[in-house]
Amino acid sequence: MRSTRILILVELALAIALAVVLNFVQIRLPINFAGGSVNLSMLPLLVVALRRGALAGAIAGVAFGCIDLLLEPYVLVPIQVLLDYPLPYLLFGWGVGQFSPAYRKDANKDTPRAAVALVTKGSLLIVFAGIIGGLLRLISHVVSGVFFFSEYAAEFFNDNPGMLQAGPTDTGINVWIYSLAYNIPYLTLSLIAVLICALVVMPVLAKAVPARRWPVKPRAPKNPPAPKNPPAPKEPSTPKEPA
C-alpha cells in the first residue's frame, strides 16, 4: 500500500514537471486574431487526471498554473491572476478526472475483452473527457478576457472588420465575441494535439503501470476463514465376545 502511494505521488510530480517543460515548446499561430500559443502542456494533466482521479488532476492543474504564473507572469489584479493561471488548469484537471472511474474500469483488467474495450470505449472516454476539461478551461479564460482585457477589443475588430459584432457594450463592441475569438483557436488546436498524443500514450501506460485512484483507500482486512470443525474421532469398536 505504501509503495503504491509513493508511486502515485511520483507520477503526480512528474506530470507537473512535464507540463512545465511542454509549456515552453510553443507554436504561435500566424493569424492575427488568435491569442495564446499551441502546446502540449495539458497532456500530462489529462493523463494523471484520467489515471488517478479528479483530486489528483485538480492538484496537478493548480500546481502547474502557479508555476506558469511564476515563469510567465501577466498580472493586473488578483482575480485576473486566478482566472488566467490556477483556475483554468484546476477546472481542466477536475473535469477530466470525472471520467477516471469509467476509464480505470477497463484499464486495470488484464483480459482480451478489457483490452478491446480500452482501445474502443477508452478512446472515446479520453476524447470526451478532454473536450469537457477543455471547455471548462475555456470558460475561465473567456471570463478573464471579458472583464480584464476588453480594452483590446476595439483593436481586434479593427484588424478583423468582417467579424460579427453581436450586441453593443459601452464601447459599441461585443467583448464576449472578442474573448471567444481570441481564446478558441489556440485552445482548440492545443486540445486536438493533446488528444492525439493521449490516444497513443494512455493504452501503453495502462499496461505498464496500473491506474489507481488517488488518494489510495486502505483496504479492509479480510477476515480469515473460520477453521472447520475437525471430524469427531470415531469410537473404537469393541470386539464381539464369542458366543
The yes-or-no verdict on residue 227 having pLDDT over 60 is: no
- From residue 49, give the alpha-carbon distance in Å to each of 55, 114, 228: 8, 20, 47
pLDDT tens digits, residue range 51-93? 999 999 999 999 999 999 999 999 999 999 999 999 999 999 9
Cα 110 vs. chain centroid, distance in angstroms?
Answer: 24
The yes-or-no verdict on residue 226 having pLDDT over 70 is: no
Phi, psi of 34 (to 5 degrees): -95, 135
pTM of the model: 0.81
Residue 233 confidence (pLDDT): 61
pLDDT tens digits, residue range 145-177? 999 988 877 776 666 655 544 444 445 468 898
Only one residue has cell 501577466, namely 74
In the chain, what are the domains? 2-208 (1.10.1760.20)
DSSP annotation string for 36-98:
SEE--THHHHHHHHHHH-HHHHHHHHHHHHHHHHHHS---SSHHHHHHHTHHHHHHHHHHHHT
* Amino acid, single-letter form, for residue 101: P
With beta carbons less than 8 A apart as the criterion, state whether 136 and 94 touch.
Answer: yes
pLDDT tens digits, residue range 101-136? 999 887 766 666 666 666 778 899 999 999 999 999
Count Cβ atoms within 10 A of the Cβ of residue 227 and give its class: 0-12 exposed, 13-18 middle, 19 or more buried. Answer: exposed
- Separation CA 202–CA 8 (nearest Å): 16
